[in-house]
Structure 1
Amino acid sequence: MPLSAELEAPPAGRPERVAALAHAALIAELEAWPKPGLVSLVDSGSHADMDAGALKRSADAIRPFFADLVRAGEGRAGMAELRRIGLAAEAAMMAATGGVNAHRGAIFSLGLLAAAEGVVGGAGGSAEGRARAVGALWGGAIRGGPAPASSNGAAAVLRFGVGGAREEAAAGFPTLRRTGLPGLREGRRLRPDDPVAARVHCFFALMAAVDDTNLLHRGGRGGLAFATASAARFLAAGGVGAPDWRDEAARLHHAFVARRLSPGGSADLLAATLFLDALEAAPCAGSADPLL
């Protein structure tokens, strides 16, 4: 079931409706469990500085800026204006969380997708087409722009020579197109009556494939290898189609916490995948039609 079917009262106005889907994607990522090492409604995972309440406050604080980014896309704004809105969203996030970086990566990825939705609207077509639009519209500007703000992920990109979120967006989100969306659809096939299970399956598919800079920061190459191998074994055993999938995912969660590993990059990509899937499913995106 896409997120668009879960909104009880779709807001008026296309930018606000798109922002509601972005917000719903962030909350759906938070509530999906077990996701090894990450904050959820169950516990704080490998994070001593944040909990579910902080992530909810952050998601609420940044929601209006997704609507601003849609409007910027509608006005064919350049990358400088998109960055300005993104930085304002980061400031709102920091104010809501007391200085904790809860959603910087999500602001970047979902923000660009929201801006692209403002450009393409209902003509965006498939979820994959919407992802490619970001690269087509702003790929050069993303690669040629100023260096990203200092962060653990940015430091890992430099230290380990991986692409990171910036290159992913500039290339039109190939990981979402080739791994995230197929993983979500496979999860739905395996567990058609359990949307949370489908999201967990998507998360494991992403973690098995991504050079997650959060994992590299916390655990180096060894931590990344442990995470990707664990995810690959989970999928090879049937993923959420296995009878004991939830117990195995919970076991991995505790193993990640013991190693202080947190695949935050994969979590951001899960939220972006859910956002794209919802945009594809929602008739709201390019017209005045309601979401439901």
Structure 2
Amino acid sequence: MPKQNLNDLQTFIAVAREGSFTRAAAQLGVSQSALSQTVRELESRLGIRLLNRTTRSVSPTEAGERLLATVAPRFEEIEAELLALSELRDKPAGMIRITASGDSADSILLPKLVQILPDYPDLKIEINTDYRLIDIVEHRFDAGVRLGDQVAKDMIAVRIGPDLPMALVASPTYFEKYGVPKKPEDLTEHNCINIRLPTHGGLYAWELKKGKRELNLRMDGQLIVCSMQQQVYGAMQGLGLAFTLKDRVQPLIDQGHLQSVLEDWCPTFPGYHLYYPSRRQSSPALALLIDILRYRK
């Protein structure tokens, strides 16, 4: 038997329930003659009469009653599910995939997610830690987190953190042994802990700035790492100087484990931003995440 047209079945259900072609036609917004023709074609394809017709009433035959009892609940289930999906559009639910640096994930994303995830059991967040500046559309991420000056111009960016001052630090024992640099040029005589950039494979150039003078220094040293956490650990162990985010090392400076130098040469970078494609409509889940992460002074 060929598959029946779902519209024909819905038409039959409407007529059978209303007991009238006139009322069913008004409900469906079609003409009475078109409705009658649709039911006749359905009966012809099935090879059985579904409705008893008189001048005053319409009622299902035995076959019609059976079809109504079995098919009508299925349509009700479909309509209920479609309604549930429609309601879901207004609720934060589903998966959000984010690419972020390790530092931003640890310092901003995870602390904020602790606040919201218990209240939204249908919401799932996947964080992919990556320092590369990847194409989030190509790699099927919903959003990314990077420093403000690293966000592409065609993206919508929302600030989620304050500006980030940098610091040049090493352990007191290192400075006792090798001396304290007084000017940027002195750094060439020191053991500097470098970070290798995953994007291009090169070493990060230390970006120093004082007034209008800017320096991008390619430093040399025994240790090369791939994260600021590793860099700071190396500095604490007396392996050299680290150029890193000040707020990550300030407690260690306060405790005397690290010492800051050349502070007037350490710039401040734009804080972390959450960004996503401008052409993508924000889902309720992403809208919630944006609202929770948005930086408020």
The TM-score by the shorter chain falls in which range? under 0.3
Greater fraction of residues in strand: 2
TM-score for both structures, normalised by structure 2: 0.21
Larger radius of gyration: 2
TM-score for both structures, normalised by structure 1: 0.21
- Greater relative contact order (CA < 8 Å, ≥ 6 in sequence): 1
